[in-house]
Chains A and B, each alone.
Chain A
């Protein structure tokens, strides 16, 4: 299905002096979606957002909005609005004046300003704080003012740069629900930058993973989790066992990888030759544990091991299992099925198809 692209970033590079902040970024943002750019600090995600906002100019490359090249337009000529990490509320003003700021600049009639400000404050549920000074608000309330100040302008694309960074976990979780509701009610396009993978998974329709100035993978959150394209993506989203080794044999559907004297069978992907180095990602929840070797089943990797540690995490337990080659594999089991102890000799097994072969 061809989707309606509202914003397109094409071959964008950014240098700060000799430091490369962004390397050849290509990104299409669909109308009405909530895209999360996720990556560790210094990965370039904020820089990319600032380029889209017009606060930075790319060294090379272009940004298009609805087909129009906006690379050189200043921020105030673009149909984007930014919610800053520090929120950047105007401390000399009330909630009303903050939210009305962009409208006043646009010389919109007073009664329309009042109507639109009321409407948006109602939407973010802080109407009763209208005449309060923003310096007298709590963290969550300030957050709502910042979002209202941008949303009131009906921007085509709303940009949010880690806006929840300063809040405590409980409040963040409340606001995640609020933000999702707001996005659904308003229906415009949002690009949300964060380093918190849980936040990304909660909010996103699609996620773009950034690392070292590169956009490693963009996709549906399930795709990213189940089919990571790079080792970084595999490790950054969720937990995983990342096994690297050399390809020993190649069959029609599977390859055999030698991993420190243990053979592992994983799905075959294109571009793999005998002797080339590959990685296999196996999520801990896809690994099962048994006290006996289950009868040799088709298409299953089975290994003997010893439990060296267990970590109870409430609804599930993570076992650390040492295999005979000395490496440790993590396997998670629902707490109600967690019947093993440290030093137990057990077997771990997983289907060949549960492994994801990564060639980056």
Chain B
């Protein structure tokens, strides 16, 4: 955005600014090349593959748009995309509900020891996530705590498998997995709000609840936007968690891509990646439209 502005400012001027323009372009070449090689060349290759005829093990290099026609007209993919979105949306909302009070507590109620307490929320997540998933099996699995409890209470007769192999399990594991990535941005965000702002609101007559509503929550927008970009959008591509605990109802688009790739159907896998990428870009644009770029760095 700033580049466009910079360019238009420069180009609407005369010869004197031509040197400036050349400098501007030359100065930015290394950065462009870096980003190009690291990010856009791989994407271009992937895009090229998505345009080839599906064939096992190798890329056929016979170009066609059939894959796109197939993916974009097939209702199943939209259904799974919708399922993916739903799982991630529910998980993100629950994550915010769980994480925000933690971040608020650390930043406002315990500001002197907040940094150290923050470690306590991060350390448990340092444990290998496969182990944590299996820990959930002890609770949600067929012979797990939840089933045993429900049987002993007489609510169900036989153990149910839906607790562990379902979208519900996917949501729970995503929450467990990503909690610190939600707590930390909100914590940094809330800690950055000067104490005098709260004091001013209190001095002007606001109660704690009114301060939360009128000051703290609106000023949490940068944290929210960080969470959307750090957790929500990347998690749309999650495949490990649903393939381990998703079962039938917890199927996500990432599983599908994984399935095609493991069958060495690179072309369809690549096409589906772009299907998901388009959706992610769409969500990003909508979020930026709602919150504005400046919410990312300014208050």
Partner-B contacts on A (CB < 8 A): 53-55, 74-76, 80-82, 84-86, 88-92, 101-102, 105-106, 135, 149-150, 153
Nearest residue, chain B, Cβ from A152: B204
26 pairs, A vs B, C-beta closer than 8 Å: A53-B203, A55-B202, A55-B203, A74-B202, A75-B202, A76-B205, A81-B203, A82-B200, A82-B203, A84-B200, A85-B196, A88-B196, A88-B197, A88-B200, A89-B200, A90-B201, A90-B215, A101-B204, A101-B206, A102-B205, A105-B204, A105-B205, A105-B206, A105-B210, A106-B205, A135-B299
Compute how far the CA of A80 lies from the CA of B200 in the bound complex, rounded to whole angstroms: 12
Name which of A88, A89, A153 has the most chain B CB atoms within 10 A of its CB: A88
Nearest CB in chain B: distance from A191 CB, A: 14
CB distance A92 to B218 under 8 Å? yes
Name which of A102, A106, A150, A153 has the most chain B CB atoms within 10 A of its CB: A102
A90: B residues at CB distance < 8 A = 197, 200-201, 214-215
Give B208-232 interface residues, CB cut-off 8 Å to A.
210, 214-215, 218-219, 221
Nearest residue, chain B, Cβ from A80: B203
Nearest CB in chain B: distance from A49 CB, A: 11
B194 within 8 A of A: yes
B115: A residues at CB distance < 8 A = none
Compute how far the CA of A210 lies from the CA of B35 in the bound complex, rounded to whole angstroms: 59
Nearest CB in chain B: distance from A356 CB, A: 40
Compute how far the CA of A280 lies from the CA of B5 in the bound complex, rounded to whole angstroms: 67
Nearest residue, chain B, Cβ from A106: B205
**A88 with B207: in contact, given A74-B202, A101-B201, A101-B214 (CB under 8 Å)?**
no
**A102 with B196: in contact, given A90-B215, A135-B298 (CB under 8 Å)?**
no
Nearest residue, chain A, Cβ from B193: A91
Nearest CB in chain A: distance from B199 CB, A: 6
Nearest CB in chain B: distance from A70 CB, A: 14
CB distance B219 to A91 under 8 Å? yes
Partner-A contacts on B (CB < 8 A): 194, 196-197, 199-207, 210, 214-215, 218-219, 221, 298-299
B197: A residues at CB distance < 8 A = 88, 90-91
Compute how far the CA of A206 lies from the CA of B298 in the bound complex, rounded to whole angstroms: 42
* Residue from A54, A88, A105 in contact with B194 in the complex, judged by beta carbons closer than 8 Å: A88
CB distance B194 to A86 under 8 Å? yes
* Residue from A74, A82, A92, A105 in contact with B299 in the complex, judged by beta carbons closer than 8 Å: A92
B215: A residues at CB distance < 8 A = 90, 92
CB distance A91 to B203 under 8 Å? no
Nearest CB in chain A: distance from B260 CB, A: 46
Compute how far the CA of A81 lies from the CA of B298 in the bound complex, rounded to whole angstroms: 28
A135: B residues at CB distance < 8 A = 298-299
CB distance B196 to A84 under 8 Å? yes
Nearest residue, chain B, Cβ from A75: B203
A89: B residues at CB distance < 8 A = 200
CB distance A91 to B299 under 8 Å? yes
B298: A residues at CB distance < 8 A = 135
**A102 with B204: in contact, given A90-B197, A92-B215, A92-B219 (CB under 8 Å)?**
yes
Compute how far the CA of A55 lies from the CA of B200 in the bound complex, rounded to whole angstroms: 10
B202: A residues at CB distance < 8 A = 55, 74-76
Compute how far the CA of A88 lies from the CA of B211 in the bound complex, rounded to whole angstroms: 14
CB distance A55 to B199 under 8 Å? yes
Nearest residue, chain A, Cβ from B195: A88
A150: B residues at CB distance < 8 A = 204
Nearest CB in chain A: distance from B40 CB, A: 35
B299: A residues at CB distance < 8 A = 91-92, 135
Compute how far the CA of A85 lies from the CA of B201 in the bound complex, rounded to whole angstroms: 14
Nearest CB in chain B: distance from A159 CB, A: 9
CB distance B196 to A149 under 8 Å? no
Nearest residue, chain A, Cβ from B298: A135
Compute how far the CA of A82 lies from the CA of B198 in the bound complex, rounded to whole angstroms: 12
Nearest CB in chain B: distance from A224 CB, A: 30
A76: B residues at CB distance < 8 A = 202-207
Nearest CB in chain B: distance from A267 CB, A: 46
Compute how far the CA of A91 lies from the CA of B210 in the bound complex, rounded to whole angstroms: 16
Compute how far the CA of A82 lies from the CA of B200 in the bound complex, rounded to whole angstroms: 7
A91: B residues at CB distance < 8 A = 197, 219, 299
B214: A residues at CB distance < 8 A = 90, 101
Compute how far the CA of A86 lies from the CA of B193 in the bound complex, rounded to whole angstroms: 12
Compute how far the CA of A135 lies from the CA of B197 in the bound complex, rounded to whole angstroms: 14
Compute how far the CA of A86 lies from the CA of B214 in the bound complex, rounded to whole angstroms: 19
Compute how far the CA of A134 lies from the CA of B97 in the bound complex, rounded to whole angstroms: 30
* Residue from B199, B204, B207, B210 in contact with A149 in the complex, judged by beta carbons closer than 8 Å: B204
Compute how far the CA of A153 lies from the CA of B204 in the bound complex, rounded to whole angstroms: 8
A105: B residues at CB distance < 8 A = 204-206, 210
Nearest residue, chain B, Cβ from A53: B203
* Residue from A80, A88, A153 in contact with B199 in the complex, judged by beta carbons closer than 8 Å: A88
B221: A residues at CB distance < 8 A = 92
Compute how far the CA of A53 lies from the CA of B202 in the bound complex, rounded to whole angstroms: 10
Compute how far the CA of A355 lies from the CA of B203 in the bound complex, rounded to whole angstroms: 46
- What 7 pairs between A and B have smallest CB-CB spacing? A88-B200, A102-B204, A88-B196, A92-B218, A76-B205, A105-B205, A91-B299
Apart from the given pairs A54-B203, A82-B199, A149-B204, 18 other A-B contacts in the complex at a CB distance below 8 Å: A74-B202, A75-B202, A80-B203, A82-B200, A84-B196, A84-B199, A85-B196, A89-B200, A90-B197, A90-B200, A90-B215, A91-B197, A92-B215, A101-B204, A101-B214, A106-B205, A150-B204, A153-B205
Compute how far the CA of A91 lies from the CA of B218 in the bound complex, rounded to whole angstroms: 10
